[in-house]
């Protein structure tokens, strides 16, 4: 048996180290990669020529980075973010270090379908690019999220009870009207988890084992285990809202089944108007609204207990409309959760609001695109294209 030689770290790996902050000087890059000083310099020269890396200069008075510090050139490109909820579409333009440059939130019945919604999304993106003085050529990638189960390869929703008109409709052709850059699609819960995992200023322990709950009109979960998002065999992991619970016995769910958690705890089942109105009433101190929000939290906590016992997370992060009344919702959630979880699984467990609040979806969509277009393989392929 012969072993293939281990490939030496390429320019893409070097950029990944700089981007993550794990190595930001020539010396550190040499130590971390095991590359010679000459080899490190060659890779940096390639990255600098492509405009992806810049070297800091000593400008302490202006807060500049010390000489010799290497950073990703955030201005070398853009990514677009498209987060589609049930009644709101959010779109944004981010630079390569994830900083938001412009965004628009548009109240719209997203259930009306992609033919109605996507042209509006595309128009907002084109207007934002123009107002920033940038063009479609600057866009490196597009990150997009939808409620429900998605097929990332075909860039389409495959099973969304909330957005039935989107199932099976390829979304790339719509995005092509604003950019030729690659489009990356994930679920609303997974991008929320990504926003928590990659950008939040938390400790490693808090990031790497987490349940990221989206409690809104529907209920879903982003699962983070050992620092990775768990999507499951068919990408259908995290459908917490359709776990069967005793309290919902016999009650119809919008997925067509009966007895689902959503039927007693999802926003669509709790309020005649939008769940945001219910949450606003709870925040204003309306006793009935507070009781309904708390009860929703309790049902969700009970269902989460089994998942907490099985996966032993450090953090349950709460996002979605219910997070707008975090105190009362999380009180119910803790009540249901800690009544049923084991002592050990519950010992260090914290229940917190998601790090980016209402922007979590946009931050996660941008991160989804950035992780793809700045992956070592993608960067090496792009550099090879430049050379050829």
The span of 180-188, 248-256, 304-312, 316-324 binding Zn ion (CB under 5 A) equals: 248-256
The span of 9-17, 249-257, 319-327, 356-364 binding Zn ion (CB under 5 A) equals: 249-257
The span of 45-53, 172-180, 232-240, 242-250 binding Zn ion (CB under 5 A) equals: 242-250
User: Of 100 and 257, which has the nearer Cβ to Zn ion?
Assistant: 257
d(CA 277, CA 263): 19
Min dist. Cβ of residue 187 to Zn ion (A): 16
d(CA 380, CA 181): 17
245 contributes a contact to Zn ion by CB under 5 A: no
The pair phi, psi for residue 86, each rounded to 5°, is -75, -40
User: Of 9 and 220, which has the nearer Cβ to Zn ion?
Assistant: 220
Among positions 17-56, residues that touch Zn ion (CB under 5 A) are none
Q: Are 356 and 195 in contact (CB under 8 A)?
A: yes
Query: Which listed residue (144, 221, 223, 260) binds Zn ion by CB under 5 A?
Result: 260
Can you state the angle between helices 11-20 and 376-387, rounded to 10 degrees? 130
d(CA 363, CA 245): 32
Query: Which listed residue (52, 122, 215, 253) binds Zn ion by CB under 5 A?
Result: 253
User: Of 257 and 277, which has the nearer Cβ to Zn ion?
Assistant: 257
Min dist. Cβ of residue 240 to Zn ion (A): 10
Give the tokens for residue 319.
């996002």
How many binding residues for Zn ion (CB under 5 A)? 5
Can you state the angle between helices 188-198 and 360-373, rounded to 10 degrees? 80
Min dist. Cβ of residue 253 to Zn ion (A): 3
Min dist. Cβ of residue 331 to Zn ion (A): 25
Give the tokens for residue 379.
């960067």
Instruction: Give the end-to-end CA distance of the chain in Å, rounded to a whole number.
Output: 35
What CA–CA distances, in Å, run from 299 to 149, 189, 237?
A: 23, 19, 20
User: Of 102 and 251, which has the nearer Cβ to Zn ion?
Assistant: 251
Q: Are 120 and 89 in contact (CB under 8 A)?
A: yes
User: Of 15 and 245, which has the nearer Cβ to Zn ion?
Assistant: 245
The DSSP element (H or E) to which 184 belongs, if any, is strand 183-187
CB neighbours of residue 156 within 10 Å: 18
Min dist. Cβ of residue 260 to Zn ion (A): 3
d(CA 213, CA 216): 9
The DSSP element (H or E) to which 14 belongs, if any, is helix 11-20
| Chain mean position to CA 58 | 35
Query: Which listed residue (255, 308, 365, 373) binds Zn ion by CB under 5 A?
Result: 255
Min dist. Cβ of residue 352 to Zn ion (A): 27
User: Of 190 and 239, which has the nearer Cβ to Zn ion?
Assistant: 239
Closest CA to 193 of 157, 154, 222, 153: 222
Closest CA to 183 of 122, 100, 117: 122
264 contributes a contact to Zn ion by CB under 5 A: no
Among positions 146-185, residues that touch Zn ion (CB under 5 A) are none
User: Of 255 and 349, which has the nearer Cβ to Zn ion?
Assistant: 255
Query: Which listed residue (86, 207, 242, 290) binds Zn ion by CB under 5 A?
Result: 242
Under the rule (CB under 5 A), what is the footprint of Zn ion? 242, 253, 255, 257, 260
């Amino acid at each position: 048996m012969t072993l293939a030689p281990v490939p030496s770290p390429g320019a893409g790996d070097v950029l990944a180290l700089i981007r993550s902050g794990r190595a930001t000087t020539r010396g550190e890059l040499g130590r971390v990669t095991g590359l010679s000083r000459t080899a490190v310099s060659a890779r940096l020269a390639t990255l600098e020529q492509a405009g992806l890396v810049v070297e800091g200069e000593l400008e302490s008075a202006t807060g500049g980075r010390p000489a010799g510090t290497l950073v990703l050139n955030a201005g070398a490109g853009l990514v677009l973010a498209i987060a589609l909820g049930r009644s709101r579409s959010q779109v944004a333009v981010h630079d390569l270090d994830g900083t938001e440059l412009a965004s628009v939130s548009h109240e719209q019945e997203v259930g009306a379908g992609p033919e109605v919604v996507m042209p509006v999304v595309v128009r907002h993106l084109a207007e934002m690019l123009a107002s920033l003085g940038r063009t479609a050529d600057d866009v490196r990638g597009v990150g997009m999220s939808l409620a429900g189960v998605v097929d990332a390869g075909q860039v389409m929703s495959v099973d969304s009870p909330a957005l039935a008109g989107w199932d099976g409709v390829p979304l790339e052709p719509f995005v092509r009207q604003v950019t030729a850059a690659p489009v990356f699609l994930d679920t609303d819960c997974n991008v929320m988890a990504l926003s928590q995992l990659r950008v939040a200023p938390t400790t490693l322990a808090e990031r790497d084992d987490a349940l990221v709950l989206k409690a809104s009109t529907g209920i879903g979960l982003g699962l983070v285990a050992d620092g990775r998002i768990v999507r499951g065999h068919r990408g259908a992991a995290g459908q917490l809202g359709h776990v069967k619970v005793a309290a919902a016995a016999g009650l119809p769910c919008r997925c067509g089944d009966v007895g689902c958690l959503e039927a007693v705890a999802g926003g669509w089942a709790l309020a005649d108007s939008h769940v945001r109105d219910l949450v606003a009433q709870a925040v204003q101190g309306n006793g009935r609204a507070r009781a309904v929000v708390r009860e929703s939290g309790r049902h969700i906590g009970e269902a989460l207990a089994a998942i907490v016992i099985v996966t032993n997370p450090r953090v349950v992060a709460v996002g979605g409309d219910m997070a707008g009344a975090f105190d009362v919702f999380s009180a119910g959630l803790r009540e249901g959760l800690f009544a049923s979880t084991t002592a050990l699984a519950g010992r260090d467990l914290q229940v917190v609001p998601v790090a980016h609040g209402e922007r979590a979806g946009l931050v996660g969509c941008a991160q989804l695109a950035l992780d793809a277009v700045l992956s070592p393989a993608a960067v090496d392929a792009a550099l090879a294209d430049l050379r050829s």
